[in-house]
Structure 1
Amino acid sequence: MTKILIHELPAQTRKLETRLRAAIAAIEHPDRDSLLSRLRFGEREVPQLVLTGLYSSGKSSLIKALTDGDASVDIAVDVATDAVRGYEWGGDVLLVDTPGVQAGLEEHDSIAESALAAADMVLFTVSVDMFDDTSSAHLRHVAFELGKLDQMLLIVTKSGTMSAAVGIRQSNADAALGVPGHLRVVECDSVDYMTGMMHDDPERANEYIEGSGIDNVRRAINALAETRGQLAVDRQPLQLIRALAMEAGSFVTEDPNESAALALLARQRGVLATRQQRIERQVASLRTAFMSAAIASAELFVDAIEDADELAQSVGERTALVDVAEADLNASLDLAAAKFGQAVTQMLKLQFDNLTAEIREIESSPHARVVSNIGAGVTTVDTTKRSRFVARRGAKAATHTSAPPWTADVQDYLKTFQTFWGAGTGVKASSGTAGHKIVTEVGHRFGVKFKPWQAARTSNYIGKAAKGAGTAIQVGLVLNDAVFEERRRRELDRARRTRRANMVSEVTTQANLIAADLVDEVRGHLRPLFDRAFADIDAVYGEIISNREDQGALSVELSAIASEADSALSAS
């Protein structure tokens, strides 16, 4: 069963942290307290997942299903929610159920508005009846005027009550939004899911659960959290737990060689995990700066369009002013995108240079010297225990005996690690090293792939919207000296606000696509690289542990904690 990772990862972290604290506290070692002091995490802002939609659209039932019934939600056929209700899901996620829009109570809309403004992610619910004028207007309001389009999923509820051909509901949603291709639609049936959860027959229960589509909703939430960087934040504590469990493992052996090797591996893992986290956070920060620049450009563009509405004496003059504004928009967006790519490339170079310096420091540590000197001067050989690392890398067999059976493997691994990460050859970020390749490939791809900022699409949508103006604006141009009745003035103001929100939102959406593409590019290079390094470290660490003649209870517990942290990270 699919889990919502913004809830699952922090919950796993808390459990493993408690166990690791207890295990470290039981170790008799002079560095125990120092290790415990490092087992702490920064404050985590609890993400808010806000549900909105018309009354009786299935919001409350969806919360019940997503939490496997953990949330105590009132469900009724009429207006089930008359106030914003937040459900703290294990202290890790705040699920917010808002009043049904247009439920006959005017205060509902303003209450829901405040909750939506603070949302990290929005689940917009609509039943299988899909959209009418009211729900379409609310969808556009949330997406464009509140700026939540890139944070929103459209959840079609009660799907078990009425089927539809493939693509029909997506088309309906695109028509309601007015801009195709920007809204992800997921269908589900919360009642079917809860029926499966409570069914006595396991086979029938599984049929209900799989057919309900709730797992698809969870996967979509996970994908959105990944895109927005939340999962990168939630993974890091598990990486720290993994590294500290390994380091604690070096405290529970009397063999100084083994202790040095385990401590060295733990330090390598910790340095890599910390550097990966810093890169992820800085990429997110640069993305935010790029988005801010794009939105500022869009605001200036719309300001120019509104100035043209007021100042132009003819439609032709207005069109000329719009052309200038559109050229300025695309130029400013191109500049923002170029700066974004350059900043990411420079940041990666700095981060990998710093990583190289940290690896050099590890190489010169007492632990590294101890490991390098194990078995020195001995010439006979026993290679029957050459391990997974050597088999995978094809490393040359060494000749050692009267030393731990893992000695040759660890020494071969260390040489490969140092060369691969750019520290063993003495050339900082040299050609062929991991850091150099990532910096070169990301910088090249951004320069080639993203150069024109999808200007054709931006011009196609925004240019048409600005030049076509719309009935309200055309009337304003022709009759700008006339005295409109108050209602007509309000309609004109509303039309201007809507047009402004739509244009800014389109630029924001395009900026998000570019930003997401670059972030995916960086992650696509980084994650396999770091994952491979972690796997190599863990394999060598596991070989050392497996060769112990006697594993005490603490050693077993620390290995179990490390393994469970690995499983949680792999699942995410």
Structure 2
Amino acid sequence: MTGKFEIHEWAVRGNELLERSKEILSSAPSEKVKSISSRIPECVLDSENSINLVFAGQYSAGKSSILKVLTGREDIAVGGGITTEETHSYDWNGIKVIDTPGVHTELRPDHDEITYRAIADADLLVFVTTNELFDSHLAKHFRNLAIERDKAHEMMLVINKMRRCAKGNSPEAQNVIREDIRKVLNPFSPEDLRTSFIDAEAALESKSEDDADISRILWKKGGVDSFTENLNDFVREKGLTGRYSTTLYTLEQLLQEALASESTGDKDVDALEELLLQRRRALVETQDRIPRAVEGEIQQSCSAIRHEGRKISDMINGSADQKAVDQELQKSQDRVQSITEQLGQTVQVVIGKHMDDLEKRIDGIANSELAKELLPRLEHRIEEASISPDTMSNLRKASDVSSKLGEFLVRNSFKPNSGSIGELFKLNQYSGTATHNAVKAIGKFFGKKFKPWEAVKWTRNVANVGRVFAVAGTVLTFVLQIKEDADAAQLESDLRESRAAIRAGFNDAAHVIEMHYDQATQTYVSSALSSEIEDVDRQLSELRNMQEVRSNLFENILALLEETRSLIQYLHSVDSQWG
């Protein structure tokens, strides 16, 4: 059996790494190292930054059973009737799993309000129904969540209790249900919502079954592997791994500082290492601050875009004027394009400010008393070691720290074009040039003419509502011609579908814009800062390799550092699959 939820696995691994790091550093003889241990975060995700996974949907659909299968927790109550009277939150290694009462229980109408409050802050929403599918009331709640509240891009649909189907949880039964629910999901599709078909009770039974063959059959009927695979894909697509890497970057920096505290016995090497660590800290903190600063601007713009969609949808009623709606829609699209372009400019200004701050900070490091005192001594060390750029290629392997340091200094600061030693380590430069040159290149990561409408699926299977509107290029033209004998109920249904399609279109545009600028920001940060951090790490590693004799503590911290980097790289590789 597999069915493992990756973000839980990452949290377990990250928290264990934090705990070991704190234990090793707190037991060090050095007071400086002990003080560093107190700055290690307690967990990879704190309560303010935890990932919220909310289960909602039909009452008695088996939400609690699915949650119990996913988490393996035995304290989750399951059974017939309404087992969840209020929301229950379970902390699961940095993930807040929230079980909610069913929506529209005629026995308990107050459950709806309880559930909607929990849904408001969901990162991932799992909407659960059974093989009996939607009645009119449940369909209304689903559409309210997916479209009116713009949760479709954060929602998965799960069909539970599939053993009740005549053909069980088989591909044939799943295909029949997919086709049955398309109209309810419109303007979205089962594929958009990563629809999963499971039987949580079968999965739970498999865990208590003694016969291994029967257990495997029950687990397969449960369909949990497919469900968790969809959940994992969803997490990758949403880029939620970034929340884990933030804490790991903090741990990486602290381990670097702990390594530096294990003195080489050479004050110049120690001072140089300290300057490089200061530079590294400035780069890493800028790398963390830029996406968080940009996120607020993106959310504000996307909220304005969704508001445009609501305004247009409110115009669509039985007495709507086709020309007026059409004109206002075009104006609204133009406003969205303007909002998008303004967002691009704002994002670049925000990033530029942070990069200017970085330049000032790096310049401050280069002009610090430590740097001013150290650089002349390093130049003297090169002369003392009788190492010049011309003799580098013939240099024998150095056997003492002084010669190794001289070799290191020449290799990292020699300018071939001038044939001389340049400014050591580019301490007051960024990527070898002034930072403002890097700032000028921000624009290419965002695209000045990004058009959100080109990526929006306006038609999303709603062409069958053609009696109410038709799609023509990127502009919707409304045909609200009502025959005298038109059925009022059908008309209202068609108008409702049209309003939903408009809101969905603008919500899609907001989602596309959010993804575009999030990805562009991450691409810029990676391009502008990652190589710099890697260069500093390379130099720090070289300096540390000069030590012939290392303490056990040094070796343990070094192993923790490599493990931390390995986990960060893995999380980045997961994100890049969806970049």
TM class by shorter chain equals 0.7 to 0.9
Residue type of the alignment partner of 1:376: I
Give the whole-Å Cα distance in 1 for the aligned partners of 2:330 and 2:140.
Answer: 31
Deviation for aligned residue 1:219: 5.2
Equivalent in the alignment of 1:315: none
Q: Does the C-alpha gap of structure 1 residues 426 and 544 become closer, same or farther in structure 2, counting only changes over 3 Å? A: closer
Where do residues 107-122 of structure 1 align in structure 2 (5 Å cutoff)? 107=109, 108-122=111-125
Q: Residues of 2 paired with 1:158 and 1:61: CA distance?
A: 10
Please state if 1:66 is matched with 2:70.
Answer: yes
Letter in 2 for 1:96: I
Q: Measure, in 2, the Cα distance between the counterparts of 1:422 and 1:544.
A: 21
By how many angstroms is 1:246 displaced? 0.7
User: Alpha-carbon deviation of 1:345?
Assistant: 2.2
**How far off its partner does 1:342 sit?**
1.5
Q: Which amino acid aligns with 1:523?
A: Q
Return closer, same or farther for 1:164/1:334 CA change in 2, 3 Å cut-off: same
Q: What code does the residue aligned with 2:85 have?
A: A
Map 1:316-335; keep pairs closer than 5 Å.
Answer: 318-335=321-338
Name the amino acid aligned to 1:559. L
Determine whether 1:289 maps to 2:297.
no
Give the CA deviation at 1:72.
Answer: 1.9
Q: Which residue of 1 aligns with 2:261?
A: 251
Of 362, 382, 397, the match for 1:376:
382
CA contact (8 A) 1:2 1:215 kept: yes
Cα offset, 1:359, TM superposition: 3.1
Alignment of 1:220-231 (within 5 A): 220-222=230-232, 224-225=234-235, 230-231=240-241
Q: Look up the match of 2:340.
A: 337
What's the counterpart of residue 514 of structure 1? 513
Cα 1:122–1:353 shift into 2, 3 Å: same
- 8 A contact 2:54–2:122 mirrored in 1: yes
Counterpart of 1:139 in structure 2 is 142
2:88 corresponds to which residue?
86
| Cα distance, 1:283 vs structure 2 | 2.5
Query: Number of matched residues?
Result: 533
After the TM superposition, which residues 180-259 of structure 1 pair with which residues of structure 2 at under 5 Å, given as runs? 180=188, 182-188=192-198, 190=200, 214=224, 217-218=227-228, 220-222=230-232, 224-225=234-235, 230-255=240-265, 256-259=267-270
Distance 1:281 1:355 in 2: 16
Change (3 A) 1:72 1:420: farther
Amino acid at match of 1:139: F
Q: How does 1:98-109 map to 2 (within 5 A)?
A: 98-101=100-103, 105-107=107-109, 108-109=111-112
CA deviation digits over 1:521-559, x for unaligned, max 9?
A: 332443466555555544544454455333323223322
CA distance in 2 between partners of 1:200 and 1:71 (Å) = 19
Q: Whole-Å Cα distance in 2 between the matches of residues 518 and 512 of structure 1?
A: 10
Query: Residue in 1 aligned with 2:287?
Result: 276
The farther-off stretch of 39-48 and 321-330 is 39-48
CA contact 2:206–2:218 (8 Å) conserved in 1: yes
Worse-matched range after superposition: 353-362 or 7-16: 7-16
Distance 1:247 1:353, change over 3 A: same
The one-letter code of the counterpart of 1:119 is: A
| Amino acid in structure 2 at the alignment position of 1:143 | A
1:51 shift after superposition: 0.8
For the pair 1:428 / 2:435, whether they are aligned, the reply is yes
Task: Name the CA distance, whole Å, in 2 between partners of 1:8 and 1:153.
Answer: 21
Q: Do 2:322 and 2:480's aligned partners in 1 also have CA atoms closer than 8 Å?
A: no
Tell me the CA shift for residue 149 of structure 1.
1.3
Note if contact 1:262-1:541 (Cα within 8 Å) is conserved in structure 2: yes
Deviates more, 1:90-99 or 1:32-41: 32-41
Match of 1:556 in 2: 555
TM-score, reference length from structure 2: 0.75
Q: Greater shift after overlay, 410-419 or 41-50?
A: 410-419
| SS of structure 1 residue aligned to 2:89 | strand
Conserved 8 A contact 2:388-2:410: no
Q: Secondary structure at the match of 1:73?
A: coil
Q: For 1:212-271, what per-residue CA distance to the aligned partner results, in whole angstroms no more than 9, with x for missing partners?
A: 664554454455456656443332121011101111111112423443354344334332
1:464-509, Cα deviation, whole Å (9 max, x unpaired): 48835598xx889999xxxxxxxx9xx9999977765553343112
- 1:250-298: per-residue Cα shift (whole Å, max 9, x none)? 1112423443354344334332221121111122112101111102222
Aligned mates of 2:535, 2:229 — CA distance in 1: 29
- Name the SS of the counterpart of 1:184 in structure 2: coil
Q: 1:477 to 1:80 in 2, by over 3 A?
A: closer
Which of these residues, 83, 94, 97, is aligned with residue 95 of structure 1?
97
Report the CA distance shift for 1:380/1:523 in structure 2 as closer, same or farther (over 3 A): closer
Matches within 5 A, 1:129-168: 130-131=133-134, 133=136, 135-157=138-160, 161-164=168-171
User: Can you list the C-alpha shifts for 1:382-425, whole angstroms capped at 9, x where unaligned?
Assistant: 99xx9xxxxxxxxx898884436476457645789967996264
**Structure 2 CA distance for partners of 1:6 and 1:287, relative to 1, 3 Å:** farther
Give secondary structure in 2 for the equivalent of 1:357. Answer: helix
Aligned-CA RMSD value:
4.6
The aligned counterpart of 1:504 is 503
Instruction: State the secondary structure of the residue aligned to 1:376.
Output: helix
Say if 1:75 and 1:455 are closer, same or farther in 2 by CA, change over 3 A: closer
Residue 390 of structure 1 corresponds to which residue in structure 2?
Answer: none
Q: Quick check: 1:275–1:351 contact (8 Å CA) kept in 2?
A: yes
Q: Percent identity?
A: 19
- In structure 1, runs of 5+ residues without a counterpart are 313-317, 387-395, 480-487
